[in-house]
Structure 1
Amino acid sequence: MKKLFKFVGFASFIGIFYFGFTTYPKLDLISGFSAKSIASGHFIDNRSQQMIEKGDNDIDMIDLAKNKIDDAGKFADASVYGLKERKAIYREGLGATLINDDFDVTKPYEVPKRTKSNNNLPFPYGNNEPKDTVFSTIDYTKLNAAVANAFDKTTEIKKRTRSILVIYKDKIIAEKYDSGFDKNSKILGWSMTKSITSALFGILQKQGKYDIDDSAPIPEWANDKRKLITTSDLLHMNSGLQWVEDYKTICDATKMLFQAEDMTRVQLEKPAEIKPNMRWNYSSGTTNLLSGILRKQFKTHQEYLDFWYSALIDKIGMNSMVVETDMAGNYVGSSYGWATTRDWSKFGLLYLHKGNWNGEQILDESWIKYTTTPTNTSNGRYGGHFWLNASGHFPDVPRDMYYCSGFQGQMVAIIPSLDLVIVRMGLTEEPEFDFNGMLKGIVGSLEKN
């Protein structure tokens, strides 16, 4: 019996040691992700805690978190086995922010000023419902089958598509939503927000207020080899700076998103490993650094907050969009943009029309060309904060397709040669979800054109 007790005691010790060594360091990130996800989904899109836990938080280890929503206080908190409790607060206009114990929730804060168009135009250039349009060149049976095939059948939890929207020649030709979602549902675009951040530099460049080919305006880099890094290098993700982005481990990206107070400084403080323009290395830290650079282009924080909406988001009628901020008040341009599926499609249409929005040139055509030109270190896969199909990553889709892409399979695909924009929002990505198959089916329905 004593031997049994010793064995059980030893096994328990080993179990506790293993937990402490492998899991405990992750608890802060697990509870942080969960609290932030619960707060954002609930307060931005009015989802129930159960719906968020079953969908957005149905990720390995994240589902270990125990969550609680306080509607009166407008916050959510989470912990794992009662350990590492984290809180995310919601503020109208700024979304949800994951905070630490040092954050002063009583401190006044500024919010972006929003404007909403009241014109009587139909979608996409107004807020009225789109006009029904039937194209004789489209095989609608084939189109609808391709869209339906991207969704799970009643008993499946595999493809996990939440919405698909197909726009051809500015007209919606297919639109479908999963149960619990509709045209008014705001969905997190994750890294599709990077493309929004990029567009803002294009707007500043068009206004003659910024030159992306100049060295990045960062005083901390002035006296070392990082001074050679241009804003264009940052937009191309080939700055040569140290960065690790691997969401299966504790890495630079996860520590930034779930622990940093000022996310704009995390990449800024990293050393250069090689010369710029020599290696492509995907980095959410780089995009948040760019958000910080944008902040420095304005005299006040209020101007910075307003610019994202007045110059781009509200300008093209993406009125549902909310870009969330970090504890320091900076937009998390790498990851935290929420919008309806229809509003995400408007961003795609802006690029499809070479920066023109209903007659107003918001981005120069040259910016679209810049965005879609492959950086020389990405094997044709990446341009100016957009993904590309130049190398045929999707073999059955036109090579001129380029797209915004986000964690869990968010996509806004732009295919200029077909006058087509396709949006897919969901919870699965490659290889679990067959993007090539979905795109192939939709494109194939236009073959009669």
Structure 2
Amino acid sequence: MRLLFFLLTSFLLLSCKEEENPDNKPVELYFPPISGTNWETLDPVDLNWNMDELEKLKRLLEENGTRGFILLKGGRIVVEEYYGKRLTGNLDFDQNSLWYWASAGKTLTATLIGMAQNEGYLDLSEPSSDYLGQGWTSMSGEQEKNISIWHHLTMTSGLDDGVGDKDDFSPSNLQYLAEPGNRWAYHNAPYTLLDRVIETSTGRDFSDYFDQKLATKIGMTGSWQRLGYNHVFFSNARSMARFGLLILANGDWAGEPVIKDKTFLNHMINTSQNLNESYGYLWWLNGKSSFMVPSLQIRFPGSFAPNAPMDMVCGLGKDGQYVCVVPSMDLVLVRMGLSPDQSLVPFMFLDDIWKILKNIIPSP
């Protein structure tokens, strides 16, 4: 019933227009030092934020299993809250605690693919079999060659996501269902194989390439871990916020280009295909006229988070792992924690956050 209400709300708010910087002026962003814990802050009182509503938001977060929550404004921390206990031990969750990104980490992989392409190691139009080898699926070699790296990035491989284990990337579990590019389906297995594409094309270990090209450039800490078939990134909340700030800054960090291919970056955070308007290169895009959800071949009208700004782009993961970037507000939102509603990609809780947040931050 809650999902039905959410979808109806999305439909009713279809006419919402995209928010923009009214003066169209570049905003001077702050970047925290690469190392250490120093990070400039802003007092929400000085920003004229509604403090009563902010307390309401904090209660919502705590009551729904949140462990870490950060709001950056122009790169500076305005809100940083931690709740509850770690999964192991009796220590309180704090700014040093590690948590899983789940599928929000897909955005990191997409970024690495763009970096590898910029360095000439691969091309999105190439068959992924050039790097995965023949026989990476149960299909014929000719069918495999029709699947490009771009299809992996856009969830349009055409491989059957109705198999028993959507995470299993064993060849026997990767079966033909549709021609590549003709069907959008949220399918973890083809995504996870992008790790191997990166390793084969660059000749580097995935984690080493990630650390060298991205993490050390912006001061991220954390590690990639294998959980079953999945490759999951673990970090503290501030590292997630750093990545969001990098995207807010158009791929630059303190004036230094980290994501050098701005064309790729633009494609990554905009509609990538005409099947699911709300999906880029492994990023979720708000403010589109329709969206699809995992496991369903239904196109729902409206935005997936109708109460949020229309220009918001997000990495979204299981159990409500969020890294969201809102250029029109110079805002980065990070949430780590336990599942608020048991959905595979918890759109509704993100929208619940924004129902309150839009009453906290004054209109421009």
Tell me how far apart the structure 2 counterparts of residues 326 and 165 of structure 1 sit (CA, whole Å): 26
Question: Does 2:90 align with 1:193?
Answer: no
Change (3 A) 1:441 1:273: same
How far is the alpha carbon of 1:350 from its aligned partner?
A: 1.1
8 Å contact from structure 1 (residues 389, 401) kept in 2: yes
Matching of residues 105-120 of structure 1 within 5 Å:
none
* Amino acid corresponding to residue 144 of structure 2 in structure 1: R
Change (3 A) 1:124 1:380: farther
Query: Deviations 1:363-401 (Å, cap 9, x if unpaired)?
Result: 122222111222335432211011111331111111211
Query: Deviations 1:16-73 (Å, cap 9, x if unpaired)?
Result: xxxxxxxxxxxxxxxxxxxxxxxxxxxxxxxxxxxxxxxxxxxxxxxxxxxxxxxxxx
- What TM-score results when the alignment is normalised by the length of structure 1? 0.62
Which residue pairs with 2:197 in the alignment? 293
Change (3 A) 1:345 1:311: same
8 Å contact from structure 2 (residues 65, 340) kept in 1: no
Change (3 A) 1:138 1:238: farther
Which residue pairs with 2:146 in the alignment? 228
Tell me how far apart the structure 1 counterparts of residues 185 and 52 of structure 2 sit (CA, whole Å): 39
40, 56, 77: which one aligns with 1:131: 40
Question: Does 2:298 align with 1:387?
Answer: no
How far is the alpha carbon of 1:244 from its aligned partner?
A: 3.3
Query: Deviations 1:227-255 (Å, cap 9, x if unpaired)?
Result: 1111111100001112337xxxxx2235x
Which residue pairs with 1:73 in the alignment? none
Tell me how far apart the structure 2 counterparts of residues 183 and 137 of structure 1 sit (CA, whole Å): 24
How far is the alpha carbon of 1:304 from its aligned partner?
A: 4.0
Change (3 A) 1:142 1:356: farther
Which of 1 and 2 has higher RCO (CA within 8 Å, sep 6+)? Answer: 2
Which residue pairs with 1:446 in the alignment? 361
Tell me how far apart the structure 2 counterparts of residues 145 and 369 of structure 1 sit (CA, whole Å): 36
- What TM-score results when the alignment is normalised by the length of structure 2? 0.75
Question: Does 2:150 align with 1:238?
Answer: no
Question: Does 2:272 align with 1:358?
Answer: no
Which residue pairs with 1:181 in the alignment? 93
Which residue pairs with 2:224 in the alignment? 323
Change (3 A) 1:397 1:372: same
Query: Deviations 1:253-288 (Å, cap 9, x if unpaired)?
Result: 35x3xxxxxxxx526862322111111111111121
8 Å contact from structure 1 (residues 267, 286) kept in 2: no
Question: Does 2:117 align with 1:205?
Answer: yes
Question: Does 2:328 align with 1:417?
Answer: yes
Query: Deviations 1:386-435 (Å, cap 9, x if unpaired)?
Result: 11113311111112111111111111111111111101112124478632
8 Å contact from structure 1 (residues 147, 164) kept in 2: no
Change (3 A) 1:170 1:122: closer
Tell me how far apart the structure 2 counterparts of residues 268 and 297 of structure 1 sit (CA, whole Å): 24
Change (3 A) 1:175 1:143: farther
Change (3 A) 1:231 1:426: same
8 Å contact from structure 1 (residues 138, 448) kept in 2: no
The percent of aligned pairs where both chains have the same amino acid is 25
Question: Which runs of no fewer than 5 residues in structure 2 stay unpaired?
Answer: 1-29, 85-91, 289-302
* Amino acid corresponding to residue 144 of structure 1 in structure 2: L
Tell me how far apart the structure 2 counterparts of residues 267 and 413 of structure 1 sit (CA, whole Å): 34
CA RMSD of aligned residues (A): 2.6
Tell me how far apart the structure 2 counterparts of residues 127 and 143 of structure 1 sit (CA, whole Å): 32
Q: Secondary structure at the match of 2:328?
A: helix
Q: Secondary structure at the match of 2:316?
A: strand
8 Å contact from structure 1 (residues 238, 377) kept in 2: no
Which residue pairs with 1:434 in the alignment? 349
Query: Deviations 1:131-170 (Å, cap 9, x if unpaired)?
Result: 23336444151562253132345xxxxx111121100100
8 Å contact from structure 1 (residues 194, 335) kept in 2: no
* Amino acid corresponding to residue 356 of structure 2 in structure 1: G
Change (3 A) 1:318 1:268: farther
Tell me how far apart the structure 1 counterparts of residues 268 and 306 of structure 2 sit (CA, whole Å): 21
Query: Deviations 1:107-136 (Å, cap 9, x if unpaired)?
Result: xxxxxxxxxxxxxx9736442322233364
Change (3 A) 1:124 1:242: farther
Tell me how far apart the structure 1 counterparts of residues 287 and 117 of structure 2 sit (CA, whole Å): 25
Question: Does 2:165 align with 1:252?
Answer: yes
369, 375, 390: which one aligns with 2:272: 375
8 Å contact from structure 2 (residues 34, 217) kept in 1: no
* Amino acid corresponding to residue 191 of structure 2 in structure 1: T
Which residue pairs with 2:26 in the alignment? none
Change (3 A) 1:227 1:190: same
Change (3 A) 1:444 1:213: farther
8 Å contact from structure 1 (residues 380, 390) kept in 2: no
Q: Secondary structure at the match of 2:336?
A: strand
Tell me how far apart the structure 1 counterparts of residues 246 and 172 of structure 2 sit (CA, whole Å): 31
Change (3 A) 1:122 1:412: closer
Which residue pairs with 2:89 in the alignment? none
Tell me how far apart the structure 2 counterparts of residues 440 and 369 of structure 1 sit (CA, whole Å): 28
236, 242, 249: which one aligns with 1:346: 242
Which residue pairs with 2:175 in the alignment? 271
Larger radius of gyration: 1
How far is the alpha carbon of 1:335 from its aligned partner?
A: 4.5
Tell me how far apart the structure 2 counterparts of residues 426 and 243 of structure 1 sit (CA, whole Å): 27
